[in-house]
Structure 1
Amino acid sequence: MHHGSGSVVASRTAFTPTGSPRPNRPGQLDPAIVDGIAGGADPSVISEISHASAAALLDRVHHTADPEVVTRVLTLVDREGVDVIAELWSHAEPDSLPGILWRLYLLRSWMRAHDASIARLWRIGEPVATAASAIAGVDDAPTEADIERTADSILAGAFTGDFAVALDRAAAFVDVVVLGLRVEAKHLSASEKRDKAARILHTAGNLQVTAHDFRHGANLWRRGKLE
């Protein structure tokens, strides 16, 4: 994992995979949505599309038993490219449904792209966590494959199970990674500490904000106020 640069860049969402290829054409998105984006629609229109598309996607999966639909939604970013999905949801506030879905999709992409580093950070952070590992549903010594399965499980749970529970799992997962980063920074040698520790702690701080966003989103969902 590169802290603060490279393949994970600190941002509003704490983890932004870079180098994601822009697809030649969006194959599964509604053409009207794509046309609206390409045409440089008014920000209020983009916001309306953002909220409507997020609600429609969530509603469709909740009302289907077709595993193929679930798989297509789960791999939406893989197929469409992160840039296309970003046009729809990345500017949405974190206390909104599209904003939270955007963060969940980025979490999955980040976990799958950096499974080895995250598994290592989890093993560092888990011993100082409380109930986080049980909430997140991760073993105390996860492998890279465990991290990938958890990434898919959290996102799939948002669409097929209790949305708030999925957000709680996401928050708990990020909490442990944050602990791992802070422990790692604390144990750096004196020669490494000045710059490297600052980058690690900056990443940890951004991730902590994202964990708070997930937790707040769960509370809003339970109160019927996440839209």
Structure 2
Amino acid sequence: MPEQFHRPVRRPPTAFDNLVGQADPAEQSRVAHATASALLERARRDESGAVTERLIGFAAEHGIDEIAELWSHAPARSLPGTLWRLYLLQIAIRSDAAQTALLYERGRVELHSADAVIAGAPAPANPEELVALVDMILRGAFRGDFAVALERAAAYCRVQASGATHIADDYERTEPDRAGELTRRALRLTTYAEDLAASAAAWRRGTLV
């Protein structure tokens, strides 16, 4: 996943920024958890689905930095940390859908598991279909079975990680820098998959906060 997502670009202050205590980590943590819970609850109460559609389109319209202010420092296996990772996946796909589709298809072919079926993308999947997939996963997180949405996201990450690993092997002799970049991406995606799967299990136990 591109490194830029770990260093969000600053934008002028917005309503999101105003929610976060700038100097108090404890307050920042409290706000992260409170806003994640409130947004999820609000989306689930809204029968029209309008809130969910606004949340799905938020990062594409406004960028990732406002969301980063709220949730990027939260523990990976917490509600805000989980929502942050879902948004990272969305931005990563939208920022380079062609490369994403290439990695996903290679992973789908190489990975002998049910992950591609669980993720739910067509086979093969074109860039537009993967953009639609991640939006569908977010929609499921906000309106459907949250644990199932996280499991789909985890499966997606495992397919992508497999693709990145195998393509890195292809580049190892001719383009070692490119191979290293893909290997690091595979490791990040593998970690995301583990965290998302653990968060899904925690949600089912009622312990994801």
Task: Please tell me the root mean square deviation across aligned C-alpha atoms, in Å.
Answer: 2.0
Q: Distance in 2 between matches of 1:174 and 1:36?
A: 31
Question: CA 1:118 to 1:73, structure 2 compared with 1: closer, same or farther past 3 Å?
Answer: same
Q: Is it true that 1:26 corresponds to 2:9 in the alignment?
A: no
Whether 2:208 is the aligned partner of 1:226: answer yes
Equivalent residue runs for 1:162-177 within 5 Å = 162-177=145-160
Percent of paired sites with the same residue = 38
| Matched position secondary structure for 1:214 | helix
Paired residues for 1:197-208 under 5 Å:
197-208=179-190
Which among 104, 117, 123 is matched to residue 122 of structure 1? Answer: 104
Q: Counterpart of 1:96?
A: 78
Which stretches in structure 1 are left out of the alignment for 5+ residues?
10-14
Distance in 1 (alpha carbons) for counterparts of 2:171 and 2:23:
48
Taking a change above 3 Å as real, the CA distance of residues 17 and 149 of structure 1, as seen in their structure-2 partners, is farther
Aligned length: 208
Give 3-state SS (helix, strand or coil) of 1:107's partner.
Answer: helix
Separation (CA, whole Å) in 1 of partners of 2:151 and 2:19 = 34
Deviation at 1:25, TM superposition (A): 4.3
**Kept in 2: contact 1:125–1:178 (CA 8 A):** yes
Residue identity opposite 1:158 in structure 2? A
Equivalent pair of 2:77/2:208 in contact (CA under 8 Å)? yes
1:76 to 41, 58, 70: 58
TM-score, normalization: structure 2? Answer: 0.91
Mind listing any 5+ residue stretches in structure 2 that lack a counterpart?
none
Is the contact made by 2:43 and 2:49 (CA closer than 8 Å) also made in structure 1? no
- 1:182 paired residue among 165, 169, 176: 165
Q: Determine which of 5, 25, 34 is the counterpart of 1:16.
A: 5
Bigger mean CA offset, 214-223 vs 59-68? 59-68
Q: TM-score, normalized by length of structure 1?
A: 0.85
3-state SS in 1 of match to 2:47:
coil
Query: Which residue is 1:12 aligned to?
Result: none
The residue number in structure 2 matching 1:135 is 118
The equivalent position to 1:191 in structure 2, one of 174, 192, 200, is: 174
